[in-house]
Amino acid sequence: MIFKVLLAGIYIFAGGSKIINLYLFRATILAYYPFLPEALAVLLAIVFPWVEILAGLSLVVNWKTKYSSSFLFLLSLFLVVQTILNYSNILPYGCGCFGFSGPEKISLYNVFRDLSIMFLAGWVCLSEWKK
């Protein structure tokens, strides 16, 4: 239960930090994927944080937890891959995971943090599917 709430809190916080500044989240998306059309980056910046928040809330209220935990695990896996692919790159607004700062070099800290979240999500996902 505590791991589920922790994972939910991480993604609710992450989504909330993106909603506060959609403009910088859009810019961060374009830093990761410069080939994306502007309209798609805007759409992702608007929708993605709400999906994170709703998946986290689903865990908190115990609604469809198998699916939300699976989604958060797959999302965490995707984010780990993106962090590794951008390792040692300098992103203009930071990695964008939990808010935005100035230019940030993606480091081992980012990789290990995202791996830790992925393992937490995997644990929660396995626990939910075993029920």
- Residue 9, pLDDT > 90, answer yes
- Paired residues of 104 in beta bridges: 91
Range from 20-29, 91-100, 105-114 carrying the lowest mean pLDDT: 91-100
**Burial environment of residue 94 by CB neighbours within 10 A (0 to 12, 13 to 18, 19 or more):** buried
Residue among 29, 88, 76, 21 nearest 52 (CA): 76
pLDDT of residue 101: 84
- Residue 64, pLDDT > 90, answer yes
C-alpha to C-alpha distance for 116 and 114, rounded to whole angstroms: 5
pLDDT bracket for residue 131 (50, 70, 90): confident
- Residue 102, pLDDT > 90, answer no
User: Do 9 and 56 touch, CB atoms closer than 8 A?
Assistant: yes
pLDDT of residue 17: 94
Give the pLDDT confidence of 109-121 residue by residue, as tens digits: 999 999 999 999 9
User: Do 76 and 52 touch, CB atoms closer than 8 A?
Assistant: no
Residue among 1, 131, 7 nearest 69 (CA): 7
Instruction: Tell me the average pLDDT across 56-66.
Output: 96
